[in-house]
Structure formats: structure tokens, C-alpha cells
Amino acid sequence: MAPAEEVGGEFPVGMKVLVVDDDPTCLAVLKRMLLECRYDATTCSQATKALTMLRENRRGFDVIISDVHMPDMDGFRLLELVGLEMDLPVIMMSADSRTDIVMKGIKHGACDYLIKPVRMEELKNIWQHVVRKKFNENKEHEYSGSLDDTDRTRPTNNDNEYASSANDGADGSWKSQKKKRDKDEDDGELESGDPSSTSKKPRVVWSVELHQQFVNAVNHLGIDKAVPKKILELMNVPGLTRENVASHLQKFRLYLKRIAQHHAGIANPFCPPGSSAKVGSLGGLDLQALAASGQIPPQALAALQDELLGRPTNNLVLPGRDQSALRLAAVKGNKPHGEREIAFGQPIYKCQSNAYAAFPQSSPTIGGMPSFSAWPNNKLGMADSTGTLGSMSNSQNSNIVLHELQQQPDAMLSGTLHSLDVKPSGIVMPSQSLNTFSASEGLSPNQNPLMLPSQSSSFLVAMPPSMKHEPVLANSQPSTSLLDGIDLVNQASTSQPLINTHGGNLPALVNRSSNVIPSQGISTFQTANNPYLVSQNSMGVGSKQQPGVLKTENSDSLSHSYGYIGGSAPMDSGLLISQSKNTQFGLLQSQDGLTGSWSPLQNVDNYGNTIGLSHPGSSSSSFQSSNVALGKLPDQGRGKNHGFVGKGTCISSRFAVDEIESPTNNLSHGIGSSGDIMSPDFFGFSGQM
């Protein structure tokens, strides 16, 4: 239906409302009342169905009214998810008027809380929430685009209002500003020389890429230190305002918290403790990570990561249970969380670290991406397990998942990588993260940061192709080589804590890619919404890819990759995707020369492309090669990166192909192909893609 404004030009006529309640009587009454208010009402008796509807058509609704007590999903949960994924105003409703419950609603982000029976007068006013939200978002965009009057008539508004285009660049999101805003006189103020030409200050759509960048930035800074201003700087996204970032950060934090809690409750379904192998371990780790992610404060996570790194990874399962890994693991899909939450990439990071950690070689330096291994093992669902990453996201966001799946395999790989030992988890991570992302975001974490070719996420671009590879590795998992490769990647990712930081050993860079993972310390993010995580890598990607610095920290970011995705987290894969992308790149960063100089991950243009671990050849250390592979994500040229992605989660093909040059480990692409991911090529970037 045309946006409210378009209907006769009188707002709020025609405003689209979605009502979710299991009580048929109430639904009928509300629908009638809303019609009486001249809104366009849609009713739904199941929360899960409502979520699907929303995901499929983000711009199809302006406001949601949801009951608190529902049989298939808690109303608060739906509230969170909608807020994170779609950023739509949600009004809670219940016959329960107890103050503590109402408080809970507000804390979860409800715009309002109505007590049944809902009266017409109350319904007549709900348009305020829609306008307020848009208004605030527009304010945040002060620097972005100007609200030209001409823009008001932008016809696509309706459609783009909530542009959640995962693939759209920032511009797109801003362009989609809500028409409603047009009516506001603020438009005039919003003029700014924003690159998004004439885009009014549309509300920012946190696409996967954007989110990934965000996550990367946060990871990079460390969840504790992540302040909007710095994040904004790191992200370096034109048109984005500090306010945008601030509000997004807030949500992200909430998300992480929720995830943590959520995970805490989730026993590692994934991996049997001690299962060294890949999946098993990761799974366990993941859970832990997941749990950790949510609950574990950043410091704790870091500690875990350290632990992981320090621990000899026997199965990578995250020695310490990297939180990140846990997260990743969890996200990956081990926990088929319905929610994306897990996807927040955190797991991704973790996994990576684990992967590294697991690997003896993984140098603890990796930033403790301990979790990576754990994660990959879990298969983050990607590769192995159900491709959870990819699959997870699939379930979640099936749309994105596909993309991500591709990526995911990386993620998975990374996860598995850990277990392998070398697990390129680093690399994998990215993908994993992707998974998580996707899971949560529906982005299908698979996106393997590296591979995310599709994602055009401008932000993530960095997605080290290696990341993609990783997933491949992960798939094959047991290939520790993946981790190796990932490591490389991670390492390459220098700044990217992405995944790779895993132990760094991973010659396979595979982990490297993890570097890509927004190692930014995103670990903490992991818990948070996956959507945010997605960008984690992004940060790493663009940012300083410190050569050789495998910042494992990023692993967190990788984990952020919302790798959660596995968890079916609602995270729209979109976010994840972006994340994964980043992560991927992060990994790749590495090595420019393979020999150690990790070229900044950014290579990944598509996310995975850049990862150009181009040095696959030289990598004397598998690491490098892996990096190369990762970093190489041949970027751009490689296009192949996408290849990984395309591989469908199994980057293994990629990796396998690549013969993982890394001599060392086999980075074995364990992911998909027992090949080692490590070889820089393995990501195929080197040319294979």
C-alpha cells in the first residue's frame, strides 16, 4: 500500500500496521479498530510467521503491534528481533498491566505498551511512534544527504523506507528515507553535502555491509571502548552520523546481552566437549561462545580468548572456550537459534581464535581468537553441520543465507579449522561469521566474508576472500589446514581481528581470513545482534590491515560475523553478510607479500575478493600462503571470490583447489576439501576462485 502519505496525502492514513497476537478475538477487534483509524492493518497470529513476513518485506510495514504472551515466541523476543533487524517501532500489548512487565517491554525497546482492552484513542495515536522514529533517524543523518524537497516525492519511498537492502550501499539506505519524513519540515535542515545525492535524511538502513563495518569498528575498538565517535571514524562511511552509530550501538549492546543470556542457556549443542575435531569442539565452543558472548562481558571474552589461545587446543574446541568461538560456534548454527542474536558474529571471532589457538602454531598473538576454532569446528553450521552457517541463516534469512552460505562455508571452515589444528579457521571465520550473520541477519553468514561477492557491501568489501576460503575449509573441516589458511588470513588482516588471529599459526591463513573478521574486539559484539556483527569485519578490512598483524582480536569480529548465523538468528543475513565480508577481508589482509607482509585485507572487494592473500605462493609459512590466499582474494579480479561463495559454503572447493600452498599446514581446507585452506590459493583467490 502506498505509504501513508501517499494516500490522499494525509498522514497517517494508510499507515501499515502489523498486529501479532495469538488471541483471535483481540486480533479481530484490533484489526477493525485500526481500519477505523484508516490504517492499513495486517494481522498475524503467529510470531514466527510475522517475522517471516517482515523479513521478506521490510518496508511493508510501518509499525508492529505485538502481544506479549504468545505460544510460539515470546513477545519480547519478537520485539528485539524486529528492532534489530528491521528497526521498526514495536508496540507491546497485553492484558497484563503489571509494572514490571511493562518495564520489561520498555527495556526491550518497545515504543509503547498498551493494556488490553486496547481502545480506539490509543490506536489513533500510534502513528506518533512511526514519525518519531523516522524523525530521530533523520536527525542522525544530518550530515547525510540533504532532504531536498524533490526527494520527498521520491516515489520509491514506500518501498525503501525501511530499506534494509543488505546489499545496498549506504547510499541506498539513505535514499530510502521515509516519505513520512518528507512531511516533516526537517527536511530542509538536513541538507548536507552528503554524497548520497539528494537523499533526504533517510533513516539509515543497517545493511549487512554497514553493520559489518560497524561490527568491525567495534571489534577493533573493543566493546568497552567503542564509542560512537570513534566507531564513526573507523567506519568512515559518508553520510553516517554519530547519532546513527550511537543508536545502533545501543541496540547492538542490547543484542549482545541478550545473546549472551540466550547462549548461556544453551548448552553446547554443538560440540561435544572435547570433541576435538572440528565440529564437535567447535560446537561446544560455540555454545560457550555464545553463552559467553552474551553474558560474558568483553573483558571476559577477551580472557576467554586468551585462554583459548593459550590452550593447546585440543580440539580447538576452544580451549578456553573462547568466547568468541563459543559465540561463533553458537552462532554458527550450532545453536539453531532462532534468533539471530547469535549471529552477531561473535562466534565468528571466537572461532577463529580458537582455530588458532588450537593450532599450536597459532600464535597466541592472534588475538586470542580462540574461539575460532571452536567455532569452525562446530561447523558453524556451515560447512559441516548443516552448513548451519549458511543454513542457519537460511532458515533465518534464507535469502541472504544463500549468499552467505557461500560465505559460510568459510565460516564453517574456519570453525572447523580450529579443530583441525590449523584450522584456517581464521579464514573460515569470516565465513563463519558470515554465517552467523546470516543467521541472524539472515544474511547468511555464509557470506564468507571473503566470498561475499554479492555483497557488494561497500563497507565490507574487504571481506577477505580468504574468508571465503575458510569456509570452505571449514566445510571440510577437519582440515586444519583451513585454519592454517585462515590464520594466514587472520594474520593478514592485521587489524582485523578477524578470525584469523587464531593462533596465527594457521598457515593456512585460513584463519587469516578471520582476521578479516572484525577482530575488532568484536567479541563482545558477538552477543549482540548479529546484524551488527556483520560489519565487524568490515572494520578490519578497511582499517589498517596491519600486515601480519593478525589481530586475532578480530576474531571476535569475525565471530561477530554474526556467524551467529548458524543460530538461525534472525539476523538478517544481510548484516551478516556484510560482516562476513569484512571479516573475510580482514583475513586476507595479510600478507602482501606473503612473506609476512600481509597486505591489508581490504582487498576484498567483495568481501572476499580482496582478501587477496595474494601471496599464496610465497608463503613460506603456510600462514602466508594462506594469507595470500585469503588476502588474495583475488580480489577483485578474482571475482572468484565469489566463487567461493558460490561454492556454496564449501569453500572447500576453493581451498581444495588451491592447493593450499601453504606448505605448512594444511590448512587443508579442511573445509570443504581436505585441502588446506591455507594455501593462499586456497581461497582460490589466488587466482582460483
Partner 1 sequence: MAAAPLREQLSALLSSMFSQGLVDEQFEQLQMLQDEGGTPGFVAEVVTLFCDDAERIIAEIATLLEQPIVSFDKVDAFVHQLKGSSASVGAQKVKFTCMQFRQFCQEKSRDGCLMALAVVRNEFYDLRNKFQTMLQLEQQIQAYDPKQQ
**Which spans of this chain sit near partner 1 (rule: CB under 8 A)?**
22-26, 28-30, 32-33, 35-36, 67, 69, 94-96, 116-120
**Judged by CB, which is closer to partner 1: 94, or 396?**
94
For the CB of residue 22, give the shortest distance to partner 1 in the complex, in Å. 8
Question: Whole-number minimum distance, CB 352 to partner 1, in Å?
Answer: 42
Three-state secondary structure readout of 559-625: HHCCCEHHHCCCCEHHHHHHHHHHHHHHHHCCECCCCCCECCHHHCCCCCCCCECCCCCCCCCHHHH
Give me the sheet containing 63-67, strands edge to edge. 40-44, 16-20, 63-67, 90-94, 112-115
Is 467 within 8 Å of 483 (Cβ atoms)?
A: no
3 state DSSP class of 121: helix
Q: Cα dihedral angle (441, 442, 446, 450), rounded to 10 degrees? A: -50
**Contact at 8 Å (CB) between 517 and 391?**
no
Residue 98 or 225: the one with the smaller Cβ distance to partner 1 is 98
CB of 655 to partner 1, least distance (A): 51
Residue 95 beta carbon to partner 1: minimum distance, rounded to whole angstroms: 4
Query: In this complex, which beta carbon is closest to partner 1, that of residue 23 or of residue 189?
Result: 23
- C-alpha distance from residue 73 to each of 46, 70, 525 (Å): 8, 6, 24
DSSP-based three-state secondary structure for 312? coil
Q: Compute the distance between CA of residue 430 and CA of residue 512 in angstroms, rounded to an integer.
A: 9
Cβ proximity to partner 1: between 30 and 369 the closer is 30
CA–CA dist 497, 301 (Å, integer): 13
- SS3 per-residue string spanning 457-511: CCCHHHCCHHHHHHHHHHHHCCCCHHHHHHHHHHHHCECCCCHHHCCCCCCCEHH
Identity of the residue, 117 or 155, whose beta carbon is nearer to partner 1 in the bound complex: 117
Nearest distance from residue 115's CB to partner 1, in Å? 8
Q: Is 629 in contact with 661 (CB distance < 8 Å)?
A: yes
Instruction: Tell me how far, at minimum, the Cβ of 559 lies from partner 1, in Å.
Output: 36
Q: How far is the CB of 5 from partner 1 (least distance, A)?
A: 24
Decide whether 35 or 106 has the Cβ nearer to partner 1.
Answer: 35
When the beta carbons of 21 and 80 are compared against partner 1, the nearer one is 21
CB of 570 to partner 1, least distance (A): 24
CB of 67 to partner 1, least distance (A): 8
Closer of 103 and 188 to partner 1 (Cβ): 103
- Give one word for 639, left, alpha or beta, with left for phi > 0 and alpha for psi -120 to 50: left
Residue among 120 and 274 whose Cβ is closer to partner 1: 120
Rounded to whole angstroms, the Cα distance separating 465 from 581 reads 8
Question: Looking up cell 549471529, which residue turns up?
Answer: 343
